[in-house]
Amino acid sequence: MEDSKKHQGLRRQLIQDLRSKGIISESVLMVMLKTPRHFFMDQGLINFAYHDQAYPIAADQTISQPFTVAFQSQLLDVESKHKVLEIGTGSGYQTAILLGLTPNVFTLERQQELFKKTQHLFKKLHLHPKRFIFGDGYNGLPDAAPFDRIIVTAGAPLVPKELLNQLALGGKLVIPVGQKQQQMMRFTRTSEKSFDKEAFGSFNFVPLLSDKI
């Protein structure tokens, strides 16, 4: 896979576009500038990699829109010492952005086809999340908890209790909540039993799937 001058130029334009849409986190913009999104897209869609849009990947899923990746990453406010859990690995693009912010990334995907494909891609790109697990994000990852940050990249009909339980004190969960359309929510754990709750506008995600509900 090759990162050409043309792609780097398109990425610079995308970063300008993200700035004009209100993204201000320099660390997030820097990592997005360095990360070739076209590596994470299907061969036939590579020419669209630096358009600010979501595109289909395998298993009827989508690679999130760059604005959404930037927005969620900015809300997550990741520091290099943080331990981060991502639910919904998909193409692995958001995972790569997280790995540019901290080495301590754990990520979960529940579609077998995507899991295998992205596992292969991570190897090829020398991307090494701490763990990449085939599993159901509704359960979180209890044996690696607590997490400083949790990000959900699919629309959750409700906020999974397990994810709130697995936040460290002061930890943050960024999650799009809703059925047809989602509200971007951020929960911050302020004590054993209490959470601050903030809302950041409407988004459209593929659903967070469950065998349970």
Instruction: Report the nearest approach of ligand SAH to the CB of residue 168 (Å).
Output: 21
Q: Say which of 4, 27, 64, 191 is annotated catalytic.
A: 64
CA within 13 Å, CB half, 146: 12
64 is catalytic: yes
CA within 13 Å, CB half, 61: 28
Q: Which of 35, 104, 111, 166 binds ligand SAH (CB under 6 A)?
A: 111
Instruction: Report the nearest approach of ligand SAH to the CB of residue 118 (Å).
Output: 8
Kindly state whether residue 72 participates in binding ligand SAH, applying the rule CB under 6 A: no
Crossing angle of helices 66-76 and 5-20, rounded to 10°: 60
Closest CA to 177 of 152, 156, 193, 191: 156
DSSP code, position 171: E
Q: Give the residue with the Cβ less far from ligand SAH, 138 or 187.
A: 138
Kindly state whether residue 90 participates in binding ligand SAH, applying the rule CB under 6 A: yes
d(CA 53, CA 57): 13
d(CA 8, CA 166): 38
Q: Which of 63, 96, 98, 99 binds ligand SAH (CB under 6 A)?
A: 63
- Which residues belong to the active site? 64
User: In the complex, which residues of this chain contact ligand SAH (CB under 6 A)?
Assistant: 61-64, 87-88, 90-91, 93-94, 108-111, 114, 136-138, 153-154, 206, 208-210
